[in-house]
Amino acid sequence: MTAEPGSSTPTETSTRRKPQKALVTSKTPAVNEWLRIGYVSRAHGLKGAVMMKTFDPASSALGTVERLRLTPKAGAPREFEVLTVRDAGSDLLVELEGLSRREEADLLVGSTVSVHRDEVDQPDEGEFFQGDLVGLAATTEDGRSLGVVAEVWSSGPVPNLVLKNGEHEEMVPFADDFVVKIDLDARTIVLKPLVFDDEK
């Protein structure tokens, strides 16, 4: 899930930016040991299988880990051993130890999917796990709030940060021209939002 600005070749589980332009105040964030990489999109079949969608469609993380954690919208997180992972179009078909009925899988739809950091390659300097970007408080250089990073879309050559501020939603490219500073310890990011002609 890495992607470098100006490149259309995403690789593993982090998003790359050129470090010389934006100020990065922390390389190893003060976050928990579980890394969010996607969510359960729906149940599949009658035997407890689920379909999962990763933040980065090119990510291979689910195919390399032995366990994962599912956190439902309401309820406590649950850890599972991964039995099988298969490509299924834009999603991944996943079978988990302990899930054997459709009714059980239905209860997990919408759950956040997390993997343990020890089981994935760590990001290089100037790279960030996409899951660590989600939840950052975003502001402009003059301190105006842009809301929080709700999602990271990686469908194009450059990842886009989806910012939500109340009912308002906007996207900002995760590229050097738009990212000023990232402080993962403080969980903040300073951005230069897009300016359209009718806003000038």
Which tens digit of pLDDT belongs to each residue from 161-200? 999 999 999 999 998 899 999 998 899 999 998 875 555 5
Statement: residue 7 has pLDDT above 60 = no
* Strands, sheet with 23-24, edge to edge from the N-terminal-most edge strand: 23-24, 179-183, 188-191, 137-139, 145-153, 160-165, 168-173
Q: Which residues pair with 129 in a beta bridge?
A: 14
On whether the 34-119 domain is CATH 1.10.510.10, my answer is no
Query: 14-27+123-192 has which CATH code?
Result: 2.30.30.240
pLDDT confidence tier of residue 149, bands split at 50, 70 and 90: very high
Q: What is the pLDDT of residues 53-104, one digit of tens each?
A: 988 777 788 889 999 999 998 889 999 999 999 999 889 999 999 999 999 9
User: What's the predicted TM-score (pTM) here?
Assistant: 0.69
Mean pLDDT score across all residues of the chain:
82
Tell me what percent of the residues of the chain surpass a pLDDT of 90: 54
CA distances to 4, 114, 138 from 76, in Å: 35, 13, 28
* pLDDT reported for residue 157: 76
Distance CA 124, CA 60 (A): 17
Provide the residue ranges of all domains of the chain, joining segments of one domain with +: 14-27+123-192, 34-119
